[in-house]
Structure 1
């Protein structure tokens, strides 16, 4: 394996994904660098969630190949991936502390000290019932659950969806403060381009299941002379 290949944590070749009559992804070729934060951008229905689920090994491609850390996604890979879905899968009757304790039981790589630290950063009280939390607070709790694991790959599907600006700012600050580029790679899908832009090393623009643009955030800004938020408007005009 070359040094260049060792620097790649995710590699997709010729990925197609079809659901009955709907083609979700068409001919996706993508190589994601180890130790980067990658923005996965696109309108609803562009294939972002499908792509993340494929990488996580939750679903399988209709055709094409996927390699995560050098092998096809399987049970062993899942232990190396923290996946935060867009849907809210928390139990309302649990407290915040009970929720984190429950989740920790599934993962040998759980970092209790990190979870406790992030509770303070995210301004959540351990005794609060999940059902009493606002949507933004629930989003922060889900993020704690994802980032408290010591894994090389973190997949975040719309972590800012429908939450207020102050919560978005807290989540972004927490992601940046907890990110360790020598140990971790983050792939994050979002519609909140303006707030998220400073995080991104590389950016993927998806449209109708195929990659319209993929480059470093720096190269894209230089090539088009505008922010990623403005580029979004040009790409999807």
Structure 2
């Protein structure tokens, strides 16, 4: 269970999160939806203990985000974070040294599944290939919580399909929590158990995905359009 209790965060004059309270259930795939600048990335960074709230409280299984909770959180940021001069093998060795839950068997399976080669140099491969490498490093850990920030952004359709296949392939139902931050709802609608719609740093709508669809007679894509149209985003 991940709990946000009255959390606010401001960067200069920009309020990223505004007194937000929301729970992310354990053992589910959760879609964190909203337009650019709505607070999605800030939310994930706080769970990953990379940013601290200005006010309010965040609890991960009852503990505040810290160096200790990082051990159970695998975070895939939107930006390229891997040293470009590294090979995939060197990047994997780097990650292996930091995290005790690194699973060498999963790494070997995934690198083959994603059609990557250990000797590929990061700066010499395409954006789609780099996206696969980030996913490889993220899912080669046996983390209880996986945070994916815009994993499909700017990626070609074939690579998107492979990324979605990887998420499904390695998801441990009931044991692992995956939060996917994206505005590309259509691509992942069938994956998510719960949905959280945020805008201007506040929760606009949340609930079980199937229940939201049934109650509103709309797909999550249609629901997002309706929600943000009414909120004048």
- Superposition TM-score, scaled by structure 2 size: 0.95
SS in structure 2 at match of 1:203: strand
Q: Counterparts of 2:67 and 2:176 in 1: how far apart (Å)? A: 19
- Distance in 1 of aligned mates of 2:50 and 2:87: 28
* Preserved CA contact (<8 Å) 2:30 2:194: yes
* Superposition deviation, residue 68 in structure 1: 0.3
Distance 1:97 1:87 in 2: 20
Specify which of 43, 47, 53 is matched with residue 55 of structure 1.
Answer: 47
User: For 1:57 and 1:96, how far apart are their aligned partners in 2?
Assistant: 26
1:113 aligns to 2:105 (yes or no): yes
Alignment of 1:200-211 (within 5 A): 200-211=192-203
Give the 4+ runs in structure 1 shifted more than 6 A. none
Structure 2: any 5+ residue segments left out of the alignment?
none
**Is residue 28–residue 174 contact of structure 2 (8 Å, CA) maintained in 1?**
no
TM-score (norm 1): 0.94
- Note if 1:34 corresponds to 2:23: no
Aligned pair 1:174/2:163, yes or no?
no
Q: Partners in 1 of 2:70 and 2:161 — Cα distance?
A: 29
Q: Distance in 2 between matches of 1:108 and 1:131?
A: 27
- 1:185 equivalenced with 2:185 (yes/no): no
Give RMSD over aligned pairs: 1.0
Aligned counterpart for 2:152 among listed residues 154, 160, 172: 160
1:100 corresponds in structure 2 to: 92
Q: CA deviation at 1:202?
A: 0.3
Per-residue deviation, 1:182: 3.1
Q: Which residue of 2 aligns with 1:217?
A: 209
* Alignment match, 2:191: 199
